[in-house]
Amino acid sequence: MRKIVLSMLSVLLMMVAAEKTRAQGCVAIKSAGGTCMLSHPDSTDESGWQFSASGRYFKSFRHFSGTVENKDRQKLGNEVINHQFSLDLTLTRIVNDRWSYMVDVPILSNARSSLYEHGLVNGVNNYNERHSTHSFGVGDIRLAVYRWLLNPKISTRGNIQLGLGIKLPTGDYNYKDYWYNVGPGGTKELRTVDQSIQLGDGGTGFTTEVNAFYNFSPRFGVYGNAYYLINPREQNGTRTYRETLSPTLANEAICSVPDQYMFRAGFSYNIPRVHGLTFAAGVRLEGIPVNDLVGGSGDFRRPGYIWSVEPALTYRMRSTSLYLSVPVAFVRNRTQSNTDKENSVTYNKHVQGDAAFADYVINLGVSFKL
């Protein structure tokens, strides 16, 4: 029974990867994939391969500046609407009960509907033309290695796992689609899509992870996950065209390559009357910092974070596991960026951009041993 419960907890940890550490909407955290994708050591005494496929979908449309929602955007009909879907394909090699390594390949499909990016004729935008831009393709691939710190044969109630990885700039960070009525005479023009739907961030990054669990009883336990991506590159050279919208946005003409982070913690409960079914609930924090740990933090980024309540269900059938989670946001904060702060000084007034966030995210996936 204990091994079954511990295996259930490991699947809950796996859901972090299924959900990916990408924030909801214009606060554009790119795919981190593979986070916490490993089984508990009690179920990995033998070496082998594990494969998972996980999808994530959300619609962002509520605009926040700081923690205050700009409800007028929806009333006036000028809100930005992002539909974002991702599929993560993750292959993990289990070496022994301590060591594992994995590769994660994200496939992304995005659509962005707005007024302000279209209909800019001769420098004037009447905000009466809503059009969409799209992006589709492979995102940033990530490789990582993991190790359980405590001896799994002795520490049967709980353990701590560390992970180190590298994120490669394989996703197109200069993806283009047509902006409508922006060229001479009102023609459409092929331009880079917004940072929030770019397939990659253009930087080679380094990831750190901590995954932990503890079981108080065969049915009840707690878990925690933390993830941080270090992106040393300051900017990727991709033009935003924001400088064409207003002279105040001149210092946001090029995309930044930001760090990103995620934290989860909660409890799990093995439902007694349904063999293999586990319920979990906790809180989830994900976001982009204002300042990176390494390298510069200038140019254009939308820093911010989301706190969510995260219920989840996992169902295990021998070597196969199904999982579903729906994080529901209760705090959304578009923080003041460094360029916002510079503009506040330049124009002698408080400047803080906004960003669109989703109400919830749907995560669904399957994992099985090969």
pLDDT confidence of residue 275: 86
**Rg of the Cα atoms in the chain:** 21
Task: Output the six-digit token pair for 347.
Answer: 């124009």
Taking only the tens place, the pLDDT of each residue in 97-126 is: 899 999 999 999 999 999 999 987 766 777
Q: What is the pLDDT of residues 206-264, one digit of tens each?
A: 999 999 999 999 899 999 999 999 999 999 999 999 988 888 888 899 999 999 999 99
pLDDT digits (tens, 9 = 90+) for 8-22: 344 434 444 334 445
Per-residue pLDDT band for 2 (boundaries 50, 70, 90) equals very low
Q: Is the pLDDT of residue 287 over 80?
A: yes
d(CA 143, CA 145) in angstroms, rounded, equals 7
User: What DSSP designation does 360 have?
Assistant: B
Contact 15, 56 (CB under 8 A): no
Full set of structural domains in the chain with CATH: 2-369 (2.40.160.40)
pLDDT bin (cut points 50, 70, 90) of residue 168 is: very high
**Residues 15, 53 contacting (CB under 8 angstroms):** no
**72-100, pLDDT tens digit by residue?**
999 999 999 999 999 999 999 999 989 99
pLDDT 10s digits, 139-167: 999 999 999 999 988 998 999 999 999 99
276 DSSP assignment = T
What value does the mean pLDDT of the chain take?
A: 88
pLDDT at 39: 47
369 in helix, strand or coil? strand
The pLDDT of residue 4 is 40
pLDDT for 57 beyond 50: yes
Query: Which pTM was predicted?
Result: 0.89
Query: Alpha-carbon distance 200 to 84, whole Å?
Result: 14
